[in-house]
């Protein structure tokens, strides 16, 4: 089976996990990028996206140069913004057909997962398994709270599933 990790990451947390999965599974990886990047000022982004849960905003993304149809397993990764997925990931999920695909999802967060996996399931149709990956609430600390063993076990589950 051909596998790809598709992720959007504002900071380093989601990218770090996506790259770990890619390395462990020896699979392809695709970073979703908004056409107009978000501000590098975190508080500006917070203010711009505070209605994300209610409004379910989408953000125009750069063209994807990978044919998702070629993949059997798709692993989706997103940070949690205001208790749900990010607008760039929402755009990707809305424009992609996941029929016949095995989909897995992970979300990086500081403990406030909210409706993240519920919305992913609504947009994808079915998710084989999902993992909430928590980091410290202190953005300067950049500390992983979820045990590495739990992440490794989840990745191994994906590896062995046919």
Q: Are 76 and 106 spatial neighbours (Cβ–Cβ below 8 Å)?
A: yes
What average pLDDT does this structure show over 17-27?
Answer: 98
pLDDT in tens, 141-161: 678 999 999 999 999 999 998
Nearest to 128 by CA among 30, 16, 1: 1
pTM more than 0.75: yes
Query: If DSSP codes are grouped into helix, strand and coil, which group holds residue 115?
Result: coil
pLDDT in tens, 80-112: 998 999 999 999 999 999 999 999 999 999 888
What average pLDDT does this structure show over 137-144?
Answer: 75
In the chain, what are the domains? 3-160 (3.40.50.360)
Sheet holding 102-109, edge to edge: 28-31, 3-7, 73-79, 102-109, 129-134
Q: Are 121 and 129 spatial neighbours (Cβ–Cβ below 8 Å)?
A: no
DSSP letter for 10, please: S
């Amino acid at each position: 089976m051909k596998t790809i990790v598709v992720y959007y990451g504002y900071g380093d947390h989601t990218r770090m996990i996506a790259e770990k999965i890619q390395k462990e599974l020896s699979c392809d990886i695709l970073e979703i990028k908004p056409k107009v990047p978000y501000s590098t000022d975190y508080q500006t982004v917070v203010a711009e996206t505070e209605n994300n849960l209610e409004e379910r905003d989408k953000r125009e993304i750069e063209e994807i140069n990978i044919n998702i149809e070629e993949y059997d397993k798709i692993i989706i990764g997103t940070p949690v913004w205001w208790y749900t997925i990010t607008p760039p990931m929402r755009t990707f999920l809305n424009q992609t057909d996941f029929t016949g695909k095995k989909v897995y999802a992970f979300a990086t967060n500081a403990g406030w997962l909210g409706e993240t996996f519920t919305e992913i399931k609504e947009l994808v149709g079915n998710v084989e398994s999902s993992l909430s990956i928590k980091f410290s609430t202190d953005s300067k600390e950049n500390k992983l709270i979820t045990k590495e063993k739990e992440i490794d076990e989840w990745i191994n589950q994906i590896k062995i599933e046919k």
